[in-house]
Structure 1
Amino acid sequence: MKMFAAIDVGSFDTEIAIYEISEEHGIRKIDHVRRQLTIGRDTYNDGKISLPVMRELIRVLEQFRERMDGYHVEDYRAYAASALREATNSRIILDQIRNATGLQVHTINNSELRFMTHKALALRSSRFDRGTGGRMAVMDVGFGSSQLSLFEDGVLVSTQNLSLGVLRIAEMSSHWKTESRLIPDIEGELMDKELATYRDIYLGGMRVETLIATGESINNMVLRGMKEKPGKMYTAAEFGEFCRRISHMTEEEIAEFCDISGAYARVMIPSAVLYEKVLELTGAGEVWVGGVTLCDGIAADYAEEQKLVRFRHDFADDALSAAGNMSVRYKGDRKHIAAVEKAAMAVFDILQEKYGLNSRSRLLLRLAAILHDCGKYVSITRETLSSYQIIMSTELIGISHLEREIVANVVRYNTRDFVYDEIHLESDLSQYDGLAKGKSEIVLEIAKLAAILRLANAVDRSHRQKLKDLEVRLEDGTLVMETSCEENLTLEQFSMEQKAEFFEEIYGIQPVLQRKRR
């Protein structure tokens, strides 16, 4: 059994949860403490965190450190989301925290945060997997932003971050010169445009069966206000009526109903309005309130990393499915993509063991193969740069931001010259726990995967899938790619020769394309 602490430095409050984690009993929460601290108010209004708020944050984290010592915590993870990540003085704040408390707080981007929430849902109940067996949506309402994810037949179809953080909206509405009773309707108008854009691009005519509602605000409304246990299931009519009831309460009434502070009650009104809007948007027939927190997600992520729990849900499939839907949205050539992916996997599997590639690298290469031509939708002449920009601008839940950068760069250097010193990484590598690689190793991984993608693309240069029976093997220092195809392979042979030099530079192996002997 391992004692583990999860710390969430949020926009509105900072919390710690202590867990017992074991392979036999899974994850058991034994303590949970929350301290209200509106870091987001500073960041969203002024762009930086003030000195008084920094001092209060350090004081709270010192108390958390003492609590960890009292439980003899063996390991921990501490994450901060948008309020600290977006602050112009975030690096200074993180350094001050480390010096004062000894705690290493890592900033986390949106897709990584939501991925952890999905993991917590998957562990909380089999309902997550049952829900994803049909059409399901997960609405995670946050203080800085919100996330709407769609699942169909058990895999993720799409996920989109929405600039509808309820603290941001509450701060904005506090400056409106209007009657307080009109504010919920005006907040609804603010949300309508962004949700309509989401509907037109991602939802279309799709209607979901189950809406999973997550986020601190819904937990307070249901678990504290209604005194329900996690896992409460509502009909759409019940949930809609409940949200309308909350949105038309005064802040004082909400504070009493949910047993929360007046400041916290302020964000409940836009939260209730947003959940009701999403219920209407998706047409869900039922709503499940999972009752998970980011701390639960941090613990689930850690337990998986330590191989103490296993998920029935395949999150790698989610990333691949979302990438496939991206490719469709950007009019990718499906048959060509399938041929490139198949060839890339055949080459990868031959090289994997000898050249230090792992299953995670394989997933990233598959994603790169699926997305390698999405940029043609924007510009045929600047395809790889456009593909890079599309990938970097689109969230893929199931991989980290750093892994998304690897995929984007593999695609970017699919056709352009690979210049090692030119590779730019946005990710702060110091923010990744247990990362055993520096920038040079990551650049080398990008080069290895790009070299394979180039070969795989070359063998379908004509986009006619001539090499349906392609076989790959290593033979006397040569990578032999063999086919019985009797069609003209001039384009494929020429393209292979063009890509061979870079592949040989990376792997020390000469690739050749040849016909099988009769």
Structure 2
Amino acid sequence: MAITTFAAVDVGSYELDMTVYEISPKIGIRKLTRVRHILPLGSDTYTDGKISYEMIAQICKALQGFKEIMKDFGVQAWEACATSALREAKNSSIVLDQIEVQTGFKVHVLSNSEQRFLLFKAIAVKDQEQFNQLIQKGTAIVDVGSGSMQLSLYDEGELITTQNMKLGTLRVLEMLAGVTPDTVDENRLIEELLGNELQTFKKLFLKDREIVNLIGVGDVIGQFAYDPSTHRPFEKIEAERFQSIYRRIRSACPEDLVEKLQIPPAYAALAPASAMAYSQMLELSGARMMWVPGITLCDGIAADYAERTKLLRLGHNFDEDILSAARQISRRYMANRGHALILEKNVCRIFDSMKKYHGLGRRERLLLQLSAILHDCGKYISLGASSECSYNIIMSTEMIGLSHLEREIVANVVKYNTEEYQYSQGSLAGLSPEVQNEIMKLTAILRVGNAMDRSHKQKFKDIRISMKDRQMQIVTSTLEDISLERGLFQKKADFFEEVYGVRPVLKQRKGV
């Protein structure tokens, strides 16, 4: 049985974390060791906007230590990721360059949506059955990090929304440092900050939804959500019991947090703000129970690696979560649901029929589906400038599981679905030739698919596609008149032929 020894490294906002795992189809993911190095990078980023060279030196020193541990365990593969402190630092490119030069670590800076998506995967790997069972009823995932807080809602097995708030524990403390006199209760100010944002979240997303469960994730929760009689972390905790823990933390002085509540000194300063976030969300949502799976970003990095390398098959369809979240965005902007559904179906049919011509893979197919779902969301803002509005909505909306570049691809495909293609200009300027080619290929497919339902009457529900003599023949058996679609199809067909060298042709089955 082949076992891969894998190391995941998280260059976080408050600490550097490395976990070494054994991964195989038989044993799954087994943790061998975990090493943490407290290093508050976020203190530099959230106050000065840059990471100092002194901090860079400490990062590199810690990573060199990680490399030695990796050698001891015979690590065969590794991945290193960074989160908000590096993502937001103005000098992030310099920091990343120095890390690679001095340590050999090439660090991938995660977008916020990629970061949270990895944590979803870690939760599912921890207990797939439990995760899938909980999300059948209203469930909120509350992820309190050092830089920000993420709230994600599942219901009936579908991801409803995920929203980010820049109110992580370290960021909030840095925000208030030096601006509050000693006589002011800092915890009260944090409660006000959190309360305002959470009330807005409730108005927008919890108005008609019952939340039964919370899943608590974060850097600090494992340090205080534990059973004092056994000193073991709670895996499930009733809301009332958690609120009791929070009240003890809320009223304790810094010394008591360490001595009486036995919170490690490195996390004691962050514990009140962290506990407060879970407490307010429990109260706001009315959830009766919270599951604390005890997972980390490193666990998510390992789960993602295992899935991509086919060492492990996850029991939850995360691509469907991405699509589900996009459909919720589409509904929010009152898009035509019937049109979007038939468009998504037809562009996938075209994509699959054109495999040998486009050379794209599963991920690009997913981006095409997202483009179909979101292609007319901008009409909610302006009927006359819908393509530009759609572009701006997509670029301004966090799309779970996508990198910033992938979101940019979707936004451009949607934009040039109706606008004249710019060829390396406009919003395409600055993108690599490879990415521009991908956008062009997906745009050509979306244009043809959209032209097939120009009337929004779903006349092309049942189609058959065949390739013959440099033609892509799209045959429908509809009884309806397709004169409108056929007449407006030619211009879209011209662009498709320019991109692929294949002419799409609409046909109605003989006898119809």
Is TM-score (shorter-chain normalized) higher than 0.5? yes
Superposed CA RMSD in Å reads: 2.1
Structure 2 unpaired stretches of 5+: none
Alignment partners' CA distance in 2, 1:17 and 1:354: 42
Q: Which residue of 2 aligns with 1:6?
A: 8
Q: CA deviation at 1:117?
A: 0.6
Paired amino acid for 1:256:
E
Answer whether contact 1:119 1:301 (CA < 8 A) is retained.
yes
Note if 1:505 corresponds to 2:505: no
Q: 1:442 to 1:387 in 2, by over 3 A?
A: same
Equivalent residues in 2 for 1:60-75 (5 A)? Answer: 60-75=62-77
Q: Deviations over 1:283-307 (max 9, x none)?
A: 2111000100111111111111111
Answer whether contact 1:137 1:211 (CA < 8 A) is retained.
yes
Q: Which residue of 2 aligns with 1:162?
A: 165
Q: Which residue of 2 aligns with 1:92?
A: 94
Note if 1:264 corresponds to 2:267: yes
Note if 1:445 corresponds to 2:438: yes
Q: CA deviation at 1:425?
A: 7.1
Q: Which residue of 2 aligns with 1:432?
A: none
Q: 1:229 to 1:133 in 2, by over 3 A?
A: farther
**Which range moves more in the overlay, 380-389 or 252-261?**
252-261
Alignment partners' CA distance in 2, 1:258 and 1:89: 39
Q: CA deviation at 1:342?
A: 2.1
Note if 1:415 corresponds to 2:408: no
Q: 1:131 to 1:174 in 2, by over 3 A?
A: same
Note if 1:136 corresponds to 2:139: yes
Q: Which residue of 2 aligns with 1:33?
A: 35
Answer whether contact 2:170 2:270 (CA < 8 A) is retained.
yes
Alignment partners' CA distance in 1, 2:228 and 2:18: 22
Q: CA deviation at 1:324?
A: 0.7
Q: 1:214 aligns with which of 213, 217, 226?
A: 217
Q: Which residue of 1 aligns with 2:249?
A: 246
Alignment partners' CA distance in 1, 2:66 and 2:20: 10
Answer whether contact 2:25 2:312 (CA < 8 A) is retained.
yes
> Aligned with 2:185: secondary structure?
helix
Q: Which residue of 2 aligns with 1:495?
A: 488
Q: Which residue of 1 aligns with 2:463?
A: 470
> Aligned with 2:108: secondary structure?
strand
Q: Deviations over 1:212-257 (max 9, x none)?
A: 0000111211259786556611111112222222222222222335
Q: 1:486 to 1:191 in 2, by over 3 A?
A: same
Paired amino acid for 1:324:
R
Answer whether contact 1:23 1:309 (CA < 8 A) is retained.
yes
Q: 1:264 to 1:75 in 2, by over 3 A?
A: same
Answer whether contact 2:145 2:219 (CA < 8 A) is retained.
yes
**Which range moves more in the overlay, 313-322 or 242-251?**
242-251
Q: 1:58 to 1:71 in 2, by over 3 A?
A: same
Answer whether contact 1:405 1:425 (CA < 8 A) is retained.
no
Note if 1:357 corresponds to 2:360: yes
Answer whether contact 1:166 1:267 (CA < 8 A) is retained.
yes
TM-score (norm 2): 0.94
Q: CA deviation at 1:309?
A: 0.8
Q: Which residue of 2 aligns with 1:434?
A: none
Q: CA deviation at 1:189?
A: 0.9
Answer whether contact 2:497 2:504 (CA < 8 A) is retained.
yes
Answer whether contact 2:222 2:294 (CA < 8 A) is retained.
yes
Paired amino acid for 1:94:
L
Percent identity reads 44
Answer whether contact 1:225 1:257 (CA < 8 A) is retained.
no
Q: 1:468 to 1:305 in 2, by over 3 A?
A: closer
Alignment partners' CA distance in 2, 1:249 and 1:181: 16
Q: 1:225 to 1:54 in 2, by over 3 A?
A: farther
Q: Which residue of 1 aligns with 2:208?
A: 205
Q: CA deviation at 1:179?
A: 5.1
Alignment partners' CA distance in 2, 1:263 and 1:424: 45
TM-score (norm 1): 0.93
Equivalent residues in 2 for 1:43-192 (5 A)? Answer: 43-125=45-127, 126-178=129-181, 182-192=185-195
Q: 1:494 to 1:226 in 2, by over 3 A?
A: farther
Alignment partners' CA distance in 2, 1:466 and 1:42: 58
Q: 1:225 to 1:294 in 2, by over 3 A?
A: farther
Q: 1:45 to 1:62 in 2, by over 3 A?
A: same
Paired amino acid for 1:124:
K
Alignment partners' CA distance in 2, 1:344 and 1:227: 56
> Aligned with 2:295: secondary structure?
coil
**Which range moves more in the overlay, 475-484 or 23-32?**
475-484
Structure 1 unpaired stretches of 5+: 428-437
